[in-house]
Amino acid sequence: MSLKLDSLKVHIYADGADKAGMLELYKNPLIKGLTTNPSLMKKAGVTDYEAFAKDILSEIKDKPISFEVFSDQFEEMRKQALKIASWQANVYVKIPITNSRGESSCPLIKDLASQGVRLNVTAILTIEQVEGLSKVLNKDVPSVVSVFAGRISDTGVDAVKIMKTCGEILKGQPKAQLLWASVREVFNIIQSDEAGCHIVTVPHDILKKAIQTIGMDLTKLSLDTVLMFKRDAEAVGYTIHV
């Protein structure tokens, strides 16, 4: 039996900031939620953060969606987080695990969690960060722990092993969901499932590729590849005089 995306236990979230792509993927029942961040918004040409978020939320009301604070000062981050959380019931507030000076966000996270804010703690890359975070999350409030497995793999470290360890650490937080972030290729989705992650966030381009290719017959894919080479050579009119 060929593998299918809908057979995986991990929940797939679309990660991006272009409105058309977000709305298209939102309508797909395979997609269980959405995430974005300031860098993705910048890349998509978004200039008004709040207007963009509220425009998206006017159409996405029944799946979790994360929006990130962008201040580097904890008190201002707190104010932004409370404002973002007030926009809609399906919103999770993304808080980076540290600010740009490397100062831990855990005191702020503890404060917001105690107020019932649904948090998506992001930019996590170490087991130590997950251990610290596990001590300040609210056991009664849903939260997401976003570990950048793709960036971990970029350093030559086994991300699957790290994610499994993170899952063990979070067992004391029954409402915390472990998220595999920074997907680099389709196979990372499979790895996230094997690692026991609850969520994997996938960029729109990789997600569309996964929908098309996961479960494909490899013999057919081989033939398609040969046909592609043939068409491209013919289109250019390549010749070799023999």
Enumerate the domain spans of the chain: 5-215
Give the pLDDT of residue 155.
98
Give the pLDDT of residue 171.
97
Phi, psi of 122 (to 5 degrees): -120, 170
Give the pLDDT of residue 1.
44
Q: What tokens does 133 get? A: 């975070």
Cα(108)–Cα(174) distance, rounded to whole angstroms?
21
pTM: 0.94
pLDDT tens per residue across span 21-72: 999 999 999 999 999 999 999 999 999 999 999 999 999 999 999 999 999 9
Give the pLDDT of residue 2.
61
Q: What tokens does 239 get? A: 């010749």
Q: With a cut of 70, list the residues of the chain below it in pLDDT.
A: 1-2
Superfamily of domain 5-215: Aldolase class I (3.20.20.70)
Cβ atoms < 10 Å from Cβ of 141: 17
Cα(226)–Cα(217) distance, rounded to whole angstroms?
15
Interior CA angle at 121 toward 196 and 54, to 5°? 110
CA-derived radius of gyration, the chain: 20
